[in-house]
A and B are shown apart, each in its own frame.
Chain A
Amino acid sequence: MQRRQFAGLMALSAGSLLLPLSKSAFAAVSDAPVNSPPRRLVVVFMRGAVDGLSIVVPYSDRNYYTARSTIAIARPGQDGGAIDLDGRFGLNPALSMMMPLWQSQRLAFVAAAGSPDATRSHFDAQDYMESGTPGRKGTPDGWMNRLLGVTPVAPGEAPSPMRAVAIGPTLPRIYAGPISVSNLPNGAAAGRATVLDRPAIGGAFAQMYQGDDKLSRAYQDAQSSHREIMASLDTSASKDPSADNGAPLPNGFPGDAARLATLMRNDARVQLGFMAVGGWDTHANQGNAKGQLATRLSQLGEGLMALCQGLGATLNDTTVVVVSEFGRTVRQNGNGGTDHGHGNVMWVMGGPVAGGRVYGQWPGLEDNHLYEGRDVAVTTDFRTVLGEVAERGLLLPDDRLSKVFPEAPTANRLKIMRA
Chain B
Amino acid sequence: MDLLATLRIALKALRTNALRSALTMLGIVIGVAAVIAMIGVGKGAQTRVEEQVRSLGANVMVLWPSSVNAGGVRSGSGGVQTLTEDDAWAIALEVPEVAFAAPTQRGSGQVVFGNQNWFAAVFGVGNDFFEVREWGLAAGRHFEPAEVQGSGKVIILGQTVARQLFGADTPYEDMIDRVVRLRRVPLTVIGVAERKGQSAVGQDQDDSVFVPVSTARTRLFGVVQGKQRRINSIWIKVHAGEDMKAAEEGIRTLLRQRHRLADGQDDDFTIRNLTEVMQAQEAASRSMTALLAAIASVSLLVGGIGIMNIMLVSVTERTREIGLRMAVGARGRDILSQFLIEAVTLSSIGGAIGIGLGVLAAELVGQSAGWRIEIQTEAVLLAFGFAGLIGVFFGYYPARKASRLTPIDALRYE
Query: A and B bound?
Result: no
Residues of A near any B CB (own CB < 8 A): none
